[in-house]
Structure 1
Amino acid sequence: MPHDHPAPAPQCPMGAAPDVPLFLRRDGFDPAPEMAALREEEGVRLVPSMFGTPVYAVTRHEAVKTVMADTSRFSVAPREEEFGMSALTEEERARVVAGNLLGLDAPEHTRLRRMLTSEFTVRRMRGLQPRITEIVEEHLDAMAAAGPPADLVADFALPIPSLVICELLGVPYADRAEFQERTGRQLDLSLPEEEQAELLRDSRAYMAGLVARAQARPGEDMLGMLVREHGDELTTDELVGIAELLLAAGHETTSNMLGLGTLALLRHPDQLALVRDDPTAVAPAVEELLRYLSIVTAGVTRTALRDVEIDGVPIPAGSAVAVVLATANRDPRSVDDGERLDVTRTAAGHVAFGHGLHHCLGAPLARMEMQIAFPALLRRFPGLALAVPCEEVAFRPHHFIHGLRSLPVRW
């Protein structure tokens, strides 16, 4: 039976930053209203991108899945204008692409993913459950000892997935401030191209040092495993690229889900109570939060490899194509009343983790972290509440991954 919800609380509106491309704009938890209208009226439209070139925004659920699944007609190879790529030399661009699963088509993608799949199975994640629980409890203890108020982003949402991925990958946790700050800036769409390029260089230089250490003395972490078991199959540049992606994706996405998800639950107290009090409600709630929040507003930009037609709109070969996950996950053709958060619904089929060949490798880890962290936080602090008015909550309007700058809370 669906849960009987009272009228929803205010949604902490955030006016979309006008210099962010339309298809990436957010209004609080929601996609920009213009994007929902685009989905209903046209489905696909040519719109400006953040890089000055136009992009076809695909907004409906089935069409988004079609584009992501069709590797014969759409390539994920990075476009030269993206994220500082054009400011790099040809040799630097080749190194940036090496090992980065998000920017590789088959068969290179398949070859690298095969080496990592066993590390991210549900069974392997269950083995990590006691350590993740311990990490969560340690941070809750620290929050309780320090007392309210607290910044839930800095004290809980960001450090937990950062520590988990550091231990899993073999990255020194002492370096967390450095790589967190760098990754956050790399995902900032407002930065100039030259600054983006310099961040790419800095990130690779940092990870190259860790890879060299693992090659000299492989440990029991994932980098050590890759060196021991696949060292003769992987180039150093591929090792660096794999590690860079896992480190960035391993903390940025889950941390923003924890922060934004907690805010969403605080704005829906009845649903917060379900997550806090009913263990069976937690897993469905996590899926619904993934669908509703869609923190990765749009997936990796594709390039049409030949003339195609999507939702009746012709797309010429060579065109950039953006799959807008935030609108797809609320498409009334695939979900009833998708603009409403309902943690009791079955949100199966959402595309928050992508779809097809590039479905998120770390999805089992992210799900486990959230399934542990949300109820633990809410049970430890049953009186958890915002410490500032809803309108003062600081979103990150220019970031590729949607989230909060901070979340002041009290209990």
Structure 2
Amino acid sequence: MTDTETLLDYPLPRTDPLLPPPAYAELRQGRPRPVRLAGGRRAWLVTRYQDVRSAIADRRVSSDDMAENFPALIPLPPTPRALSMFRLDNPDHATLRRMVIPEFTARATRALQPDVERITHRLLDDLAAGPKPADLVEGFADPLPTLVIARLLGVPYEDHEEFQTNGRVVTSPTATPEEAGAAFAGLTDFMSRLIDRKQADPQDDLISRLVVNHYNKGEISRDDLVAMARFLLFAGHDTTANQISMNILFLLRNPEQLAELRADRSLVPGAVEELMRYSSIKQHDFIRTAAEDMEIGGVAVPKGDGIIFALPAANHDPEVFPEPERLDLRRDAHHHLAFGHGIHKCVGAPLATLELEVSLNAILDRFPDLRLAVDLTDVPFRDDMLLYGTHRLPVTW
């Protein structure tokens, strides 16, 4: 990149809280563009579906956040392997990923379905018995995936406020470096203490199995084990929580689509895929650097340059998804990029999909008259977070 190039400021602003930034539509008409991040760092912004899909699977694109020009969007100081396999390249990424893959296979996920359904119905019982209007985020969308991932990992649910609060600070681009560092240290201490307990008294949970099957055998270091457990805990609840609330909001804003879904529940699996495409809550966190000189979308990207893959832009590319700004629950959207693509495709995708399907079916059953309790303008959106969503979602019935 040269100083003579016109730089856009990133992140780009939204004008409609239910749609990606409108500037993406124009950007998709051209080649990847350089953008300027807060603090002056530069990166390439990639918006077209085919460019994003092919480049994020390219071995020359690196996830290593220790690279000099890595386009980090949160104020954490760079720490080697701090985000576990999420910010590692192969072979290290593959080594760590293989340790947890058995926990997220289709068979393993099916075995969790009774737990997911039990937790879902209990939370909705409590929501229905409580006052109206209710906050769907606080009463359902947040606790459901938190309880599920806590059960899977072996984390006591009574500790959820500690790790959720720290997690929100860590992923907020508006947090100061001191605030983000303190929150990250809190998450690290929390997970380190939990691993000590699992080593002393292993149970039937994922962290215990990592300790017994890999850590005790010297196959994973203490720091890597802490980092992996910390990453799985946060990634396993925050993404799904935001997706659940956005699913309901989008359906309430599209009553004809909602009526179709109520009339034909066989649409639910496809509807979940379309809702993930439509919302694309991972608005800022698919970031990389070029490990070698390469070309993306007809642009020469020199080795070391930062790259931002705009998943919301790619998932709204009309070349792939006709009329992308129209929610269509009958659309075949399974090839969306909400879970990423390539070696870093979300390892927990089967579990997240299960939670989204179960939660959607259960809400449709329990609340046939569900509606927003406030105007859309009064819904507080997470504009300042890596993951898009709502801080609160007041509903009534």
Q: Is 1:409 matched with 2:395? A: yes
Amino acid at match of 1:321: I
Aligned partner (choices 125, 134, 142) of residue 126 of structure 2: 142
CA gap 1:26/1:354 in 2 versus in 1, 3 angstroms = farther
Matches within 5 A, 1:292-311: 292-311=278-297
Alignment of 1:5-84 (within 5 A): 21-23=10-12, 27-40=16-29, 42-71=30-59, 73-79=60-66, 82=72, 83-84=74-75
Cα deviation, residue 51, structure 1:
4.8
Distance 2:324 2:123 in 1: 33
The 3-state SS of whatever aligns with 1:57 is strand
Residue 212 of structure 1 is matched in structure 2 by 196
SS of the aligned residue for 1:31 comes to coil
Q: State the AA in 1 paired with 2:311.
A: L
Q: How many residues align?
A: 384
Match of 1:323 among 309, 325, 345: 309
TM-aligned CA deviation for residue 276 of structure 1: 3.0
Local SS of the residue matching 1:405:
coil
- The answer to whether the Cα contact below 8 Å between 1:24 and 1:297 also exists between their aligned partners in 2 is no
The percent of aligned pairs where both chains have the same amino acid is 42
Residue 275 of structure 1 contacts residue 375 of structure 1 at CA under 8 Å; is this kept in 2? no
Corresponding residue to 1:312 among 287, 298, 305: 298
Aligned counterpart, 1:359: 345
Identify which range, 254-263 or 209-218, moves more after superposition.
Answer: 209-218
Are the counterparts in 1 of residues 286 and 311 from structure 2 also a CA contact under 8 Å? no
Q: How far did residue 24 of structure 1 move? A: 7.5
C-alpha contact 1:211 1:236 (8 A) present in aligned 2: no
Q: Which residue number in structure 2 is paired with residue 120 of structure 1?
A: 104
- 1:16 alignment counterpart: none
Q: CA deviation at 1:144?
A: 1.1
Write the distance in 1 (CA, Å) between the matches of 2:46 and 2:279. Answer: 18
Query: 1:147 Cα deviation (Å)?
Result: 3.5
Aligned partner of residue 303 in structure 1, secondary structure: strand
Q: Is the 8 A contact 2:33 2:46 kept in 1?
A: yes
1:12-61 CA-to-partner distances (Å, cap 9, x unmatched) read xxxxxxx9823575731211111221112x23100012453011000001
Alpha-carbon shift at residue 340 of structure 1 (Å): 0.9
* Cα separation, 2, equivalents of 1:391 and 1:69: 38
Give 2:167's aligned residue.
Answer: 183
1:333 aligns with 2:324: no
SS in 2 for 1:218: coil
Q: Given that residues 187 and 399 in structure 1 are in contact (C-alpha distance below 8 angstroms), is that contact kept between their aligned partners in structure 2?
A: yes
Rounded to whole Å, the distance in 1 between the matches of 2:94 and 2:39 is 29
Contact map agreement 1:20 1:189 (CA 8 A) in 2? no
1:255 is aligned, of 213, 232, 241, to 241
TM-score by length of 2: 0.93
Offset at 1:359? 0.3
Contact preservation (8 Å) 2:286, 2:310: no
Equivalent position to 1:193, from 169, 177, 182: 177
Match of 1:101 among 49, 61, 85: 85
Corresponding residue of 1:246: 232
Return the alpha-carbon distance in structure 2 between the equivalents of residues 22 and 239 of structure 1.
Answer: 33
**Alpha-carbon offset, residue 293 of structure 1:** 0.3
Quote how far apart the aligned CAs of 1:95 are: 5.5
Deviation at 1:315, TM superposition (A): 1.3
Displacement of 1:245: 0.8
**Which of residues 321, 324, 346 is equivalent to 2:332?**
346
Work out the CA distance in 2 between the residues paired with 1:35 and 1:198.
35
**Residue 78 and residue 366 in structure 1: after superposition, are their counterparts in 2 closer, same or farther (change >3 A)?**
same
Q: Report the CA distance between 1:160 and its aligned residue.
A: 0.3
Equivalent in the alignment of 1:7: none
Gaps of 5+ in 2: 1-7
Is 1:282 matched with 2:273? no
- Partner SS state of residue 143, structure 1: helix
Distance 1:213 1:52 in 2: 44
Q: Report the counterpart of residue 4 of structure 2 in structure 1.
A: none
Tell me the distance in 2 between the aligned counterparts of 1:67 and 1:335: 19
C-alpha RMSD of matched pairs (Å): 1.7
Superposed displacement of residue 217, structure 1: 1.6
Q: Answer yes or no: is 1:372 the counterpart of 2:358.
A: yes
- AA at the equivalent of 1:111: T
| 1:5 equivalent in structure 2 | none
> Given the superposition, is the C-alpha separation of residues 199 and 391 from structure 1 closer, same or farther in structure 2, using an over 3 Å criterion?
same
8 A contact 2:76–2:170 mirrored in 1: no
| Structure 1: 5+ residue stretches without partners | 1-18
1:396 corresponds to which residue? 382
**Amino acid of the structure 2 residue aligned with 1:30:** L
Structure 1 match to 2:213: 229
Task: Give the partner amino acid of 2:11.
Answer: L
CA distance, structure 1, for counterparts of residue 22 and residue 331 of structure 2: 23
The CA distance in 1 between the partners of 2:116 and 2:192, in whole Å, is: 27
* Structure-1-length-normalised TM-score: 0.90
Q: In structure 2, do the counterparts of structure 1 residues 20 and 26 end up closer, same or farther at CA, with 3 Å as the change threshold?
A: farther
Task: Give the AA of the match of 2:138.
Answer: A
Query: For the Cα contact (< 8 Å) 1:22–1:35, is it kept in 2?
Result: no
